[in-house]
Amino acid sequence: MKFMTLLLILFLSSPFVFSEKVSVLPDIMKPHLIAVDNDQLYISEDTTVYIYSLKDYKLKCKFGKQGEGPEEFNRYAIVIPQQDSLVINSRGKVSYFSKDGKYIKEIKNKAGVIGGGFIPLGKNFAGQGFAREENKIYHTFNIYDSQLLKTKEIFRRDLDRRPQKINPLDAKLFRLDIILYFMIFFLLEKKLMY
Protein backbone atom coordinates (compact mmCIF):
# COMPACT_ATOMS: atom_id res chain seq x y z
CA MET A 1 0.00 0.00 0.00
CA LYS A 2 2.82 2.41 0.88
CA PHE A 3 4.48 1.65 -2.46
CA MET A 4 1.28 2.46 -4.38
CA THR A 5 0.87 5.70 -2.42
CA LEU A 6 4.44 6.70 -3.26
CA LEU A 7 3.87 5.95 -6.94
CA LEU A 8 0.68 7.99 -6.93
CA ILE A 9 2.44 10.95 -5.29
CA LEU A 10 5.29 10.79 -7.81
CA PHE A 11 2.88 10.50 -10.73
CA LEU A 12 0.73 13.42 -9.60
CA SER A 13 3.69 15.66 -8.80
CA SER A 14 5.49 15.02 -12.10
CA PRO A 15 3.59 17.71 -14.08
CA PHE A 16 5.01 20.30 -11.67
CA VAL A 17 8.61 19.35 -12.30
CA PHE A 18 10.12 21.65 -14.88
CA SER A 19 13.46 21.39 -16.54
CA GLU A 20 15.57 24.36 -17.44
CA LYS A 21 15.72 23.27 -21.07
CA VAL A 22 14.06 20.59 -23.14
CA SER A 23 15.90 19.29 -26.17
CA VAL A 24 15.19 16.68 -28.82
CA LEU A 25 18.01 14.31 -29.70
CA PRO A 26 16.96 13.03 -33.14
CA ASP A 27 19.90 10.64 -33.54
CA ILE A 28 18.88 8.54 -30.54
CA MET A 29 16.29 5.81 -30.99
CA LYS A 30 16.80 3.33 -28.11
CA PRO A 31 19.39 4.54 -25.60
CA HIS A 32 20.47 2.08 -22.97
CA LEU A 33 22.87 4.23 -20.94
CA ILE A 34 23.23 7.94 -20.22
CA ALA A 35 26.21 9.46 -18.42
CA VAL A 36 26.98 13.11 -17.72
CA ASP A 37 30.03 15.08 -16.71
CA ASN A 38 30.48 18.85 -16.31
CA ASP A 39 30.34 19.72 -20.01
CA GLN A 40 29.00 16.75 -21.96
CA LEU A 41 26.23 14.21 -22.19
CA TYR A 42 27.20 10.66 -23.21
CA ILE A 43 24.57 8.32 -24.57
CA SER A 44 25.22 4.76 -25.66
CA GLU A 45 22.87 2.94 -27.96
CA ASP A 46 23.96 -0.63 -28.58
CA THR A 47 27.54 -0.25 -29.86
CA THR A 48 27.43 3.46 -30.71
CA VAL A 49 28.39 6.27 -28.32
CA TYR A 50 26.99 9.78 -28.85
CA ILE A 51 28.60 12.83 -27.26
CA TYR A 52 26.44 15.95 -26.87
CA SER A 53 27.31 19.39 -25.52
CA LEU A 54 25.41 20.24 -22.34
CA LYS A 55 25.31 23.92 -23.37
CA ASP A 56 23.24 23.54 -26.52
CA TYR A 57 22.61 19.75 -26.72
CA LYS A 58 24.21 19.58 -30.16
CA LEU A 59 25.88 16.38 -31.27
CA LYS A 60 29.65 16.81 -30.98
CA CYS A 61 30.54 13.36 -32.28
CA LYS A 62 29.56 9.73 -32.40
CA PHE A 63 31.75 6.67 -32.61
CA GLY A 64 31.71 2.91 -32.29
CA LYS A 65 30.23 0.04 -34.23
CA GLN A 66 29.67 -3.70 -33.82
CA GLY A 67 32.90 -5.69 -33.86
CA GLU A 68 35.92 -6.80 -31.88
CA GLY A 69 38.62 -4.56 -33.31
CA PRO A 70 39.90 -1.21 -32.06
CA GLU A 71 37.12 1.40 -31.91
CA GLU A 72 34.53 -1.40 -32.10
CA PHE A 73 32.34 -2.84 -29.37
CA ASN A 74 30.84 -6.27 -28.89
CA ARG A 75 27.08 -6.17 -28.12
CA TYR A 76 27.06 -2.96 -26.04
CA ALA A 77 29.09 0.08 -24.97
CA ILE A 78 28.94 1.24 -21.36
CA VAL A 79 30.42 4.73 -20.95
CA ILE A 80 32.15 5.76 -17.72
CA PRO A 81 33.40 9.38 -17.87
CA GLN A 82 36.68 9.96 -16.08
CA GLN A 83 38.44 13.24 -15.35
CA ASP A 84 40.41 13.28 -18.61
CA SER A 85 39.05 10.36 -20.67
CA LEU A 86 36.16 8.00 -21.31
CA VAL A 87 36.35 4.38 -20.22
CA ILE A 88 34.05 2.17 -22.27
CA ASN A 89 33.14 -1.36 -21.27
CA SER A 90 32.17 -3.85 -23.91
CA ARG A 91 32.03 -7.61 -23.79
CA GLY A 92 35.60 -8.84 -23.49
CA LYS A 93 37.43 -5.51 -23.28
CA VAL A 94 37.78 -2.03 -21.87
CA SER A 95 38.48 0.83 -24.29
CA TYR A 96 39.80 4.31 -23.60
CA PHE A 97 38.77 7.36 -25.63
CA SER A 98 39.44 11.08 -25.25
CA LYS A 99 36.53 13.27 -24.18
CA ASP A 100 36.07 14.26 -27.84
CA GLY A 101 35.78 10.64 -29.01
CA LYS A 102 39.32 9.93 -30.21
CA TYR A 103 40.53 6.36 -29.68
CA ILE A 104 43.40 5.99 -27.18
CA LYS A 105 43.78 2.28 -26.36
CA GLU A 106 42.01 -0.89 -25.35
CA ILE A 107 42.66 -3.70 -22.91
CA LYS A 108 41.35 -7.11 -23.95
CA ASN A 109 40.13 -9.44 -21.25
CA LYS A 110 42.56 -12.34 -21.50
CA ALA A 111 41.03 -14.12 -18.51
CA GLY A 112 37.76 -14.70 -20.35
CA VAL A 113 35.53 -13.04 -17.77
CA ILE A 114 32.01 -12.97 -19.13
CA GLY A 115 30.29 -9.65 -18.64
CA GLY A 116 33.05 -7.81 -16.85
CA GLY A 117 31.35 -4.55 -16.00
CA PHE A 118 34.79 -3.17 -15.21
CA ILE A 119 34.91 0.08 -13.25
CA PRO A 120 38.21 1.99 -13.09
CA LEU A 121 39.70 1.95 -9.61
CA GLY A 122 42.97 3.87 -9.78
CA LYS A 123 45.18 1.79 -12.10
CA ASN A 124 43.08 -1.28 -11.40
CA PHE A 125 39.44 -2.20 -11.95
CA ALA A 126 36.49 -3.47 -9.96
CA GLY A 127 34.36 -5.93 -11.87
CA GLN A 128 32.25 -9.02 -11.81
CA GLY A 129 32.96 -12.57 -12.81
CA PHE A 130 32.00 -16.16 -12.20
CA ALA A 131 33.67 -18.94 -10.25
CA ARG A 132 32.99 -22.67 -10.16
CA GLU A 133 33.84 -24.90 -7.22
CA GLU A 134 32.62 -28.43 -6.56
CA ASN A 135 29.71 -28.27 -9.05
CA LYS A 136 28.57 -24.89 -7.74
CA ILE A 137 28.61 -21.66 -9.71
CA TYR A 138 29.20 -18.32 -8.00
CA HIS A 139 28.72 -14.78 -9.23
CA THR A 140 31.76 -12.88 -7.95
CA PHE A 141 32.78 -9.26 -7.51
CA ASN A 142 36.51 -8.78 -7.84
CA ILE A 143 39.48 -6.47 -8.11
CA TYR A 144 41.36 -6.79 -11.42
CA ASP A 145 44.81 -5.48 -12.30
CA SER A 146 45.54 -3.10 -15.19
CA GLN A 147 45.47 -6.05 -17.65
CA LEU A 148 42.04 -7.26 -16.39
CA LEU A 149 43.47 -10.25 -14.51
CA LYS A 150 41.71 -11.00 -11.22
CA THR A 151 43.82 -10.15 -8.18
CA LYS A 152 41.29 -10.36 -5.35
CA GLU A 153 37.74 -11.61 -4.83
CA ILE A 154 35.62 -9.22 -2.74
CA PHE A 155 32.24 -10.92 -2.68
CA ARG A 156 30.59 -14.07 -4.01
CA ARG A 157 26.96 -15.02 -4.47
CA ASP A 158 25.78 -18.60 -4.87
CA LEU A 159 23.98 -18.82 -8.21
CA ASP A 160 22.68 -22.30 -7.44
CA ARG A 161 20.20 -20.73 -5.01
CA ARG A 162 18.56 -18.72 -7.78
CA PRO A 163 15.28 -20.18 -9.02
CA GLN A 164 15.42 -22.33 -12.16
CA LYS A 165 12.80 -20.13 -13.81
CA ILE A 166 13.61 -16.48 -13.34
CA ASN A 167 10.55 -14.30 -13.24
CA PRO A 168 10.99 -10.66 -14.37
CA LEU A 169 10.93 -9.34 -10.80
CA ASP A 170 13.78 -11.69 -9.75
CA ALA A 171 15.81 -10.62 -12.80
CA LYS A 172 15.32 -6.93 -11.94
CA LEU A 173 16.26 -7.53 -8.31
CA PHE A 174 19.39 -9.41 -9.44
CA ARG A 175 20.39 -6.46 -11.66
CA LEU A 176 19.67 -4.11 -8.75
CA ASP A 177 22.02 -6.18 -6.57
CA ILE A 178 24.77 -5.73 -9.16
CA ILE A 179 24.19 -1.97 -9.31
CA LEU A 180 24.28 -1.72 -5.52
CA TYR A 181 27.55 -3.68 -5.32
CA PHE A 182 29.18 -1.38 -7.84
CA MET A 183 27.92 1.66 -5.93
CA ILE A 184 29.69 0.21 -2.90
CA PHE A 185 32.85 -0.14 -5.02
CA PHE A 186 32.62 3.57 -5.83
CA LEU A 187 32.07 4.52 -2.20
CA LEU A 188 34.99 2.39 -1.00
CA GLU A 189 37.25 3.27 -3.92
CA LYS A 190 40.16 4.60 -1.87
CA LYS A 191 40.10 1.67 0.51
CA LEU A 192 40.01 -0.87 -2.33
CA MET A 193 42.94 0.73 -4.18
CA TYR A 194 45.32 0.26 -1.27
* Residue 30 identity (one-letter amino acid): K
Model confidence band, residue 139 (pLDDT cutoffs 50, 70, 90): confident
What are the start-end ranges of the H helices in 33-139?
none
pTM of the model: 0.71
What are the start-end ranges of the H helices in 76-151?
none
Is the model more confident about 1 or about 111? 111
Nearest of 75, 72, 53, 52 to residue 62 by alpha carbon: 52
pLDDT-wise least confident of 18-22, 45-49, 73-77, 161-165: 161-165
Residue 30 confidence (pLDDT) above 80: yes
| pLDDT tens track for 49-63 | 999 998 888 999 999
User: How high is the pLDDT of residue 65?
Assistant: 92
| pLDDT tens track for 142-180 | 888 888 888 888 888 787 655 555 555 455 445 555 555
Cβ pair 52, 25 in contact under 8 A? yes
Is the model more confident about 5 or about 54? 54
SS3 14: helix
Beta strands in the chain (DSSP E): 33-36, 40-45, 48-53, 59-63, 78-81, 86-90, 93-97, 103-108, 119-121, 124-133, 136-144, 150-158
